[in-house]
Every structure is written in C-alpha cells, then in structure tokens.
Amino acid sequence: MMQLHELTATALRAKLAAGETTAEAVTQSCLARIADLEGSIHAWIHLAGDEALTRARASDAGPAPGLLQGIPVGVKDIIDTADMPTAYGSTLYQGHRPPWDASCVSLVRAAGGVPLGKTVSTEFAYFAPGATANPHNIAHTPGGSSSGSAAAVAARMVPLAFGSQTAGSVIRPASYCGVVGFKASRGKHCLAGIKTLAHSLDTLGWFARSVPDIALMRSALLGEEQGLGDSSSHAPRIGVCRTAQWNEAEPSSQQALAAAAERFAAAGAQVEDLDLPPLFDDYNASQQRLMNYEVARALAYERIDHRNEISDVLCANCDEGLAVTEAEYEAARNHGRAGRHAFAELMQDVDILLTPSAPGEAPAGLAATGDPKFNRTWTLLGVPALSLPGHTGQQGLPVGIQLIGRFGGDLDLLRWGQWAEERLR
C-alpha cells in the first residue's frame, strides 16, 4: 500500500473527502519524508512543520472543504509569505519577513491548502544556484530557478509546489527531476507578492506528479473547478516543433521527442512536423536581451546599494542588461510582439506543439542549473507550456517532453496534456 506522501494531490483529495485519512496524517507523512531525505536533497530553505500541523488540524475540524483542503503545498522562496521568511534566494534578505502573503499563497490558503514551507530558489530566481540536488542523483543539478519545488515534488516530499518562469525556470527543472511542470499563459495569474525579475516575462507556474493535479491547483487559483473531462474521446493534432536549437539537443532529448511522437501517432493523433518561420530564428536572443535589460532595472536596489552581497554571475548579467540600449530593448519587445502574431496563425492547424523540455538529462554538478535554450522562445511568446516525464536517458536520469498551447488556452493544453500523459505511461 502506498504511503500518504506518495499519493498525488487528486488521490489525496479523494481520500480526504471520503474520510479515509486526515489532513494531519497527510502532513505528518510529508514531514516524515522530508526528515528522511532533506539532509541530502536540500529542497527547503524554511520548513514550517508545527504551523502546517496546526493548520492541518484546523482543516480536519473545519467547515465544508475547499479544492485543496488539507493538501500540503510548497512555496518558492521568491513568493511572499506573512508567516514564513522570504529571502528571495539571497543572503541579502536572510530572515526577511514580509507583512503579507502573495496573491497565490492567499488563494491556496483560502482553498484549504496547507503551506508546508519555502522551497529553495536560485538567487532572485536567476542563474546563481542554491544548495538543492537532483533526487534521482544528488551529484546532478535539479535545474533552476525553481529547484527546490521541483526536487521536493520529485522526492515525494510534497504533492504540489509553486514555481515561476522568466526563461525556463519551471519546464527545465520539471524535465530534470521527472515531474509534471506547468507554466501558465503570461498574465493569467496574479503576480502580486512575487519578487519581480523581468516584468515582461515573469509567469507563475507549479509542479505536480500528474496533469489532473496541475489542473486542481489551477482551479484553486481561479476560484472555480474546471475539470479536464474524458481524454479518450478523440486525439489531438500535434505539430512536432524541433526549433532552431535542435542540433544542440542531446541524444536523450531527441530520443524522448521521437518516442513520444511515435506513441501519440499510434494512439490516433495527427502528428506532423511543424517548423517555425525564420522570424523565430533569433527569438531566443531577443528574449535574453529583453530579460537582461529588465533584470538590471528590477534589481536596481540590490546591484547599486548591495553589489558586494550579490553573486558575480548576477552582477555580470546586470552589467549585460545595462549595456542594452533602449532602442535595442524596444526592438526585442517588437520582435516578441511580431512573433506572437505569427504564432497565433501557426497554431490554427494544430492543437498543441511537441518540443523538447530541456537539452537532455540534468548536467552533473551543482554549480549551474542547465540551459533554458528550449524554453526562452515560448516564454517570450507568453504561451502556456507543460513538461511531461516519461523518458530516461543513458545516465538513468529523467528527460521530459514539452507541450505548447495557444496563448490563453491553458485549460485546452491541460486537457490535451492529460491525453498525452496517459499515452506516455
């Protein structure tokens, strides 16, 4: 019999609703799992065990349940919490206690969720890594910047955890850690109370172990339950999009994409190659230029008043951003807008795109978090993205595939994602 911490959020919800377990028992099981593994994985920067148990007991004694009633949730360290410190992945803010909850945290609490603690983030959700290791092999990175959240979900420490994405900070760690990761359409969910990195790109996301779990969190944030329905009725039209970076994909990522396309076609999907037009050849460069420009300004206080207290890599990236002229910045923004119009036309003939989540397996070492080269384009477009596990590379580490939907078509993407997930098992 599976232990409570091993169950998905939707399975826990069903058990809690049926009276087969309690929120307190679920929280205790997650805390015991953390106690067993945290010494090697380092997924948490702050654990609120006593507070979580108190909230779980109140949930068991409380009124009609919310969508997340009694379900533990991890919160990325760049997301403000009134009852837990928020350090934004930086020693500069060690012990900082915001006077408020971020919007997404308040909505989780309102839905009955139990915030379990703060998960490790890279410094200000940029590239300088934290201490978190990959649960599948602690000598390898879990990816970034949402490293702690991805690792905590992969290690069965918590069923749901928040991340954020400005380049590839949800999809890449989801692929490296072998979990489901979802980046919403930009602007779909409120970012109030989340440390700004690049205001044109920052997007809320989260991790789970199934697509229905992703949809459950989305429903809680929206305040209305939106089910995925029966995914067996018909198959999607899938465009296999290798992108301009395809030659930089490792064999494991290329194999994962080919295997998924083969399975989907065998299950009745209409699968065809789809190449992005030349407009997108330099799209990654525009995303990076725009991102660096905005990072240098969003972190103006930190880089001007506390430059000696931030990492060398962040200082260097800020300097790159300061070297970008306003004209170059506006050209990158215009490139982004042009791409969004072209992408909307491109998606008229397909339901979803199938593309790599990451270059390959998680790289060895914890000094870097990997390359977001297969994520930058989709983040600049602002479209929803979903990473699904299902393939294992030569080193025995997970390799995900990425599904891309139309802008604003988040629920449709999750419905097709559920169809795909069932065919990858």
Residues known to be catalytic:
76, 145, 169
Residue 349 DSSP symbol: G
Is the Cβ–Cβ distance between 8 and 209 less than 8 Å? Answer: yes
Structure tokens at 340: 């969004």
Query: Among all chains, which residue has been given the structure tokens 């240098």?
Result: 296
Alpha-carbon distance of 344 to 336, in angstroms, equals 12
Nearest to 194 by CA among 298, 297, 91, 112: 298
Structure tokens at 314: 């962040």
Instruction: Write the CA distances from 319 to 242, 312, 371, integer angstroms.
Output: 32, 10, 20
Q: Find out whether the peptide bond into 103 is cis, omega within 30 degrees of 0.
A: no
Residues 6+ positions from 21 with CB-CB distance below 8 Å: 4, 12, 15
At 400, which helix (H) or strand (E)? strand 398-404
Residue 407 DSSP symbol: T
Q: Please report how the helices 410-424 and 251-266 are oriented relative to each other, as an axis angle in degrees rounded to 10.
A: 90
- Alpha helix (H) residue ranges in 77-180: 103-110, 147-154, 171-177
Edge to edge, the sheet with strand 180-183 lists 44-47, 114-119, 72-76, 160-165, 203-208, 180-183, 385-392, 398-404, 352-356, 237-240, 270-273
Nearest to 111 by CA among 72, 74, 66: 66
User: How big is the chain, counted in residues?
Assistant: 425
